[in-house]
Amino acid sequence: MEKTSLPEGKDPTLRLVPMPSDTNAAGDIFGGWIMSQVDIAGSVVAHRAANGRVVTVAVNEFQFHQPVYVGDLVSCFAEVVKTGRTSLTVFVEVFAERRRMSEDCIKVTEATVTYVAIDESGRPRVLK
Q: For the domain with range 14-117, which CATH number is right: 3.20.20.70, 1.10.10.60, 3.10.129.10, 3.60.10.10?
A: 3.10.129.10
DSSP secondary structure letters along the chain: --B--PPTT---SEEE---GGGB-TTSSBPHHHHHHHHHHHHHHHHHHHHTS-EEEEEEEEEEE-S---TT-EEEEEEEEEEE-SSEEEEEEEEEEETTTTSS-EEEEEEEEEEEEEB-TTS-B----
pLDDT reported for residue 102: 65
Kindly report the average pLDDT of the chain as a whole number. 94
Q: Domain boundaries in the chain?
A: 14-117
Confidence check: pLDDT of 33 > 90: yes
Predicted local distance difference test score (pLDDT) of residue 101: 64
